[in-house]
Amino acid sequence: MYMLGSMTINSRGHLAIGEQDLVELAEKYGTPLYVYDESLIRERCRAYREALNQHYPQGEILFAGKAFLTLGMGRLLLQEGLGLDVVSAGELYIAAQAGFPMERVCFHGNNKSPAELKMALDLGVGRIAVDSLMELDRLEEKASRRRKIVPLLLRVRPGISADTHRYIQTGQEDSKFGLGISDGQVFAAVKKVLKSPYLELLGLHCHIGSQILDSQPFQLAAEIMMDLREEIRLKTGTLLPELNLGGGLGIRYIAGDRPVGISDLVMLLAETLKKKAREHNSTLPRLLLEPGRSIVGEAGITLYTVGTIKDVPGVRRYVSVDGGMSDNLRSALYGARYRALLANRPQEPAEETVTVAGKACESGDILIYDLRLPSPRPGDILAVLSTGAYHFSMFSHYNRHLRPAVVFINGGLTELVVKRETLEDLIRPELIPPHLEKEPDFKTVGELGGSA
C-alpha cells in the first residue's frame, strides 16, 4: 500500500494521519471532510526552500494560493518563510487578513479588474505580473496618478505545449495568458515600461501549465526565458534582475504518475540558468518559483461516507458517496484519476471493482471509475488520496451542497481550519425583495386559471 507523509495504519487497523484516526475524525466532524497532513505541507515547503538554498540561493518560493488558500494556510506559509502568488481580490484579501507581508506577494491574472489593481496598489504588493498591453496602460495610468512606483513582472507566453491536460496548459502560443514573444508584444511592453517613470520592470514571468511530470518542458522554458532576457538586454541595454518560472510540477495521483522530484527540478533549473548566464556572459537573475500542487496536493485527503450501492447488472456497481463534483471538480472537468481506500478497513483485500459516484444531479459526477476496494458497505469511510490542491479551492455550490470543513493534522495535533458550511450560511447573502414577500392569492395550483 502506498503511504504518504505521516499516513499510517493504527492499532485499530484504521487509516490514520499522525496520531489521528481518520474514522474517528469523520465521526467528529462529519463527511465529506478535507483533511490535511500539515507536517507534509511543511515538509514540501522546506524541500523547495532547501533545494533553492543548495542550488540557487538567490531565489524565493511563492506558494500559488489558487491551489489552496485559507487564513490558516496563510499563517503556515508565513511560518515557513514562503511568499505567495495571488490571483484575485479574494486571495489578496485572505493574504492581508492572515497578516501576510505584502512585499512577498505577486499578483497574477489575465483580467485584473480596476478595483483589484487599486487594492493591490493600496496594499503595496511586491510585484504585479502584467498579463497584457492593455493592463500595462491601466497600471501606468493608476501609478502616475498616485505618483507611486509600481514594481512589476511581464508575463510571457513562451510557446511551449507541455504534456498535460489541454485545460491546464498555459504556455502554448494560443493561450489567453501572457504576452507573445514572436508577435512583438513582450518587446512593446518592455519599451512602454522602461519609458514610464512610475513602472519598475523587475523581470519576466512564465508559467507553462500544471501537473507536468517531466522536467524537460521546465528546462525549455528556462532556456527560452533566459534567451529572451538576453535579447532584451541587447535591444534596450537593461538587464532584468528577476526571473519567475511559475509553478506546474505534478504529483502522484495514481500509481503510474512519476513526477520529477522537487530537488532534482530545482537543480536542473539552477544549472540551466547558470549555463545560459555563462553563454550570455551576464549575471544570474533572482529566481522565483510558484509551486502550488506539489506543496499541498499529496498532503490532502477527502473523507466520504458510503451511502447507496447500486448494481447495473453486467455493467458496473455504483457506490455513491456523500460528496462528489462539488468538493472535487477535477474528475468531471479533466477526467482526473485518483487512488482511494476504505479508512475503516484499509488492509482488507480489495476484491471488488466499483465505480465511486458523487451525489450531484449530473451523470458526469463520477469520482473514480473501476476502483478496486474490499466489498463496500453503507457507512464505510472512503478516503480519496492526493486531494489537497484544487479541491477546496474549486468547490462548487451546485445543488446547494454545503462546503466541507477543513482539518489540519500535525503529529498529535488536530485542528479545524475551516468550519463546515451550514444551511444558514447558504442563504446568508440572499434577499427576498418586497414584491416577492406577498403570499399568493390563490389556494391551490388548480386555481391558477385555465379553462376547466
Looking at the annotation, which residues are catalytic? Answer: 361
Residue 59 C-beta: closest distance to ligand LLP, Å: 15
Q: How far apart are CA 35 and CA 299, in angstroms?
A: 8
Instruction: For residues 208 and 163, give the distance between their C-alpha atoms in angstroms, rounded to a whole number.
Output: 10
Site string for ligand LLP, 327-346 (x = CB under 6 A): ---x----------------
Rounded distance between C-alpha atoms, residue 240 and residue 233, angstroms = 8
CA distances from 299 to 23, 164, 255, 271 (A): 17, 21, 16, 29
Q: Which of 65, 247, 358, 388 binds ligand LLP (CB under 6 A)?
A: 247
Binding mask 87-116 for ligand LLP (x = CB under 6 A): ---------------------x--------
Residue 26 or 76: which CB sits closer to ligand LLP? 76
Return the residue of 104, 293, 345, 359 that touches ligand LLP, per CB under 6 A: 293
Considering only the stretches 50-58, 206-214, 275-283, 339-347, report the one whose residues sit in contact with ligand LLP under the rule CB under 6 A. 206-214
**Using CB under 6 A, which of 135, 140, 290, 380 touches ligand LLP?**
290
**DSSP secondary structure letter of residue 417:** E
Nearer to ligand LLP, 8 or 219 (CB): 219
Quick one: 29 or 100, whose CB is closer to ligand LLP? 100
Q: Of these, 171, 285, 292, 358, which contacts ligand LLP (CB under 6 A)?
A: 292
First to last CA, the chain: 68
Cα angle: 186, vertex 88, 331; to 5 degrees = 95
DSSP secondary structure string for all residues of 255-303: TT--PPPHHHHHHHHHHHHHHHHHHHT-PPPEEEE--SHHHHGGGEEEE
Q: How far apart are CA 127 and CA 150, in angstroms?
A: 8
Q: Is 355 in the site for ligand LLP (CB under 6 A)?
A: no
Question: 158, 159, 203, 246: which one contacts ligand LLP (CB under 6 A)?
Answer: 246
Pairing relationship of beta strands 105-107 and 127-130 according to DSSP bridges: parallel
CA distances from 94 to 97, 315, 363 (A): 5, 47, 35
Q: Does 291 bind ligand LLP (CB under 6 A)?
A: yes
Which of residues 203 and 247 has its CB atom nearest to ligand LLP in the complex? 247
Residues contributing to the site for ligand LLP (CB under 6 A): 64, 66-67, 85, 108, 168, 207, 210-211, 246-249, 290-294, 330, 389-390
